[in-house]
Amino acid sequence: MITLTPKKEFRFPVIAECINPDIFHDKTTKEIEELKIWEGNKQKMLGELFKVEENRTENPQEREAITINGNLNKVRRIGAGMKSGEIIIHGDVGMHLGEEMKGGKITVHGNVGSWAGSMMKSGTIEIHGNVSDYLGAPYRGSIEGMRGGKIVVYGNVGNEAGAYMKNGLIKIYGNAGQFLGLRMRDGTIFVEKDSGGRAGACMKGGKIVVGGFLESVLPTFTIDSIKEKVKIEEGETIAGPFYLFIGDLVENGEGKLYLSKEKNPHLNHYERLL
């Protein structure tokens, strides 16, 4: 197991895609320290910014693990494109965590910046804090959203979580911002608490489940039925009842938007349309 600790508090953005189990694999501590990393507009070696320690273990899984301790809120692209192994972060971390991730697991005991899990294809990201905007979403101008894998957030998330999502699962145990599941194509998004407005805007497929309050449903959704429960993933079903809306009809969409009946009594006027 490799443990990294920042040698200072970073003032400038640090681009750290080299912090990746696939890149660390079979390298000595010295070779890891010599990996290239950017601090602002200056290229440096990883060992100049982080203390690198190796903890020997016989467990094959632990040998592939990276633990990082400290404030990393200026550090970006940790675990980008990773295919295997594990990263455990004790502290806040910056943007693009696990971008285009293809496997393995990232666990964060802190808050995370924007674009966490952006365009990920497989693997697991677990965040024990809050996340900023664009969770699992692509860059502006791209339509390639999350295509697989699983993201679990125990805090709140910002706007456009799951935008352009094509597959995979996002579970949010706090609140979500506006435009949840924007232009979603497939996959599942579950929010245990409240969601901001315009949930499911322009979605064509997939499933959004909101267990808390949503101020209003877009007029381009139509109520379908009331469901007693809804499946989140294999082995997990959430008890309702839930209003089920279908949309976004402006996109000829067949997406499913489930809203808690108990937490949204202001939507009961839709029942007369059933």
Domain harbouring 13, CATH code: 2.160.20
Here the tokens at position 103 are 């496997």
Reply yes or no on whether the pLDDT at 223 is more than 70.
Answer: yes
Q: How far is CA 95 from CA 37, 114, 127, in A?
A: 16, 5, 13
Reply yes or no on whether the pLDDT at 266 is more than 90.
Answer: yes
Peptide bond preceding 248: is omega within 30 degrees of 0, i.e. cis? yes
User: How many domains does the chain fold into?
Assistant: 1
pLDDT tens readout for residues 11-56: 999 999 999 999 999 999 999 999 999 999 999 999 999 999 998 7
Give the mean pLDDT of 139-160.
95
Average pLDDT, the chain: 96
Here the tokens at position 260 are 């808690």
Residue 227 lies in domain: 2-273
Which residues make Cβ contacts (< 8 Å) with residue 72, sequence separation at least 6? Answer: 6, 10, 78, 89, 91, 92, 93, 94
| Distance, CA of 117 to CA of 212 (rounded, Å) | 24
DSSP string for 156-178:
-B-TTTTTT--EEEEEESS-B-S
What pLDDT is attached to residue 64?
A: 74
